[in-house]
């Protein structure tokens, strides 16, 4: 009925109903009433995707769109694993329908208890081992995670390539060894003493304060890369507003750091300044949101010596911030 124009489907309902009655499968008055209702709403353009899917679920053989933490893709977008497990779930629902464990008339009447039971039945199947030992929910979420990580890695590689192009245009950015040495001496002292000023750098980078790298460029870049891409989630010990920079995506980081690289030492680098490298300066709302996300970044860059007390880029930051970004994305900082 859903594969043909709704007008034609409505016209075919009486014949279909008689044929099913003759075949010994008459279905219920509630089903036929709901079918006519949803087809009329489709015909007038009043039906939403949710309305149609809800009607399908009320047959008792259509999986609920969202089960626990998993959202079923549209049929055309499902992976082989998704298609296989969806089909197995449908088979399970059909069996439950035959035994009376599912009552479609209660579902089509939008009975809250019936809906809850229907979802619970699916959740039990999704979280129980199949005969081959696989747990459907675990398999689907693992595949989803793998796909996300692959897309994220591809985005990082592409952004790193764009940043290298920008740095090639900018030209040489000399490493200020005296500034680097002084910064690392100060950072080592602070990290070893577990000072509050470097607690975030410690958490972001995962360095061992009792076994810090003796190579200044490597240590500084690891600490700076951790600000952009934390080694582990520090939310257990750090307030949420202090990790807001993690919400920035590849394009945000690329635009901000490219702006600093092109500007050179003394470039203003406050939260609002960095936000304006990314969005139109006249868009106050977007600037304000992005500036808030950059606040913890700016603070940590100051601790590293990449920005001065006036939140302007230092020679150390001009060399180190782009290199740290490359290291965070691809591990290929040139030092």
pLDDT at 333 over 50: no
In three-state form (DSSP H/G/I as H, E/B as E, the rest C), the secondary structure along 256-288 is: HHHHHHHHCCCCECCHHHHHHCCCCCCCHHHHH
Per-residue confidence (pLDDT) for residue 51, from 0 to 100: 85
Contact 319, 175 (CB under 8 A): yes
Sign of the C-alpha dihedral, residues 131, 137, 140, 142?
negative
Quote the radius of gyration of the chain (alpha carbons, Å).
Answer: 29
CA 150 → CA 7, 77, 145, 157, 260, distances in Å?
45, 17, 9, 11, 29
Per-residue confidence (pLDDT) for residue 261, from 0 to 100: 97
Average pLDDT across the chain, whole number: 90
Contact 9, 1 (CB under 8 A): yes
Q: Which residue has the higher pLDDT, 128 or 52?
A: 128
Rounded CA-CA distance 271/273 in Å is 5
Rounded CA-CA distance 22/299 in Å is 76
In this prediction, residues 278-306 reach a mean pLDDT of 90
Which pLDDT tens digit goes with each residue over 84-116? Answer: 999 999 999 999 999 999 999 899 888 999 999
Residues in a beta bridge with 67: 70
Per-residue confidence (pLDDT) for residue 330, from 0 to 100: 76
Contact 39, 9 (CB under 8 A): yes
pLDDT at 283 over 80: no
pLDDT at 242 over 60: no
Query: Please, which residues have CB within 8 angstroms of residue 294's CB and are 6 or more apart in sequence?
Result: 245, 248, 256, 271, 274, 275
- Closest C-alpha to 181, from 214, 204, 205, 208: 214
pTM beyond cutoff 0.75: no
Per-residue confidence (pLDDT) for residue 232, from 0 to 100: 62
Angle (nearest 5°) at CA 124 between 120 and 126: 115
Contact 30, 105 (CB under 8 A): yes
Per-residue confidence (pLDDT) for residue 244, from 0 to 100: 47
Give the DSSP letter of residue 77: G
């Amino acid at each position: 009925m859903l594969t043909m124009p709704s007008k034609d489907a409505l016209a075919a309902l009486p014949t279909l109903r008689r044929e099913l009655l003759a075949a010994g499968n008459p279905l219920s008055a509630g089903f036929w009433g709901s079918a006519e209702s949803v087809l009329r709403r489709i015909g007038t353009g009043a039906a939403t995707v949710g309305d149609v899917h809800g009607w399908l679920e009320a047959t008792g053989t259509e999986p609920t769109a969202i089960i626990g933490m998993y959202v079923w893709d549209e049929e055309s977008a499902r992976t082989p694993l998704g298609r296989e497990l969806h089909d197995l779930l449908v088979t399970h629902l059909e069996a439950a329908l035959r035994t009376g464990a599912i009552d479609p008339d209660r579902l089509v009447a939008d009975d809250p208890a019936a809906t809850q039971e229907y979802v619970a039945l699916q959740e039990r199947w999704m979280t129980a081992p199949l005969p081959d030992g696989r747990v459907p929910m675990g398999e689907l979420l693992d595949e989803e995670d793998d796909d996300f990580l692959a897309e994220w890695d591809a985005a990082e590689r592409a952004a790193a390539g764009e940043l290298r192009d920008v740095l090639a245009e900018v030209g040489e950015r000399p490493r200020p060894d005296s500034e680097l040495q002084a910064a690392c001496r100060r950072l080592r002292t602070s990290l070893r003493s577990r000072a509050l000023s470097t607690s975030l750098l410690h958490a972001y980078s995962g360095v061992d304060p009792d076994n810090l790298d003796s190579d200044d460029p490597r240590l500084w870049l690891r600490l700076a890369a951790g600000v952009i891409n934390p080694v582990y989630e520090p939310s257990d010990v750090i307030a949420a507003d202090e990790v807001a920079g993690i919400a920035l995506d590849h394009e945000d980081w690329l635009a901000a750091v490219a702006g600093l690289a092109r500007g050179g030492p003394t470039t203003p680098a406050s939260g609002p300044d960095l936000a304006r490298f990314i969005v139109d300066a006249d868009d106050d709302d977007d600037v304000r949101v992005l500036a808030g996300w950059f606040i913890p970044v700016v603070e940590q860059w100051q601790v590293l010596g990449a920005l001065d007390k006036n939140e302007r880029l230092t020679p150390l930051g001009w060399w180190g911030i782009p290199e740290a970004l490359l290291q965070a994305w691809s591990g290929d900082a040139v030092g």
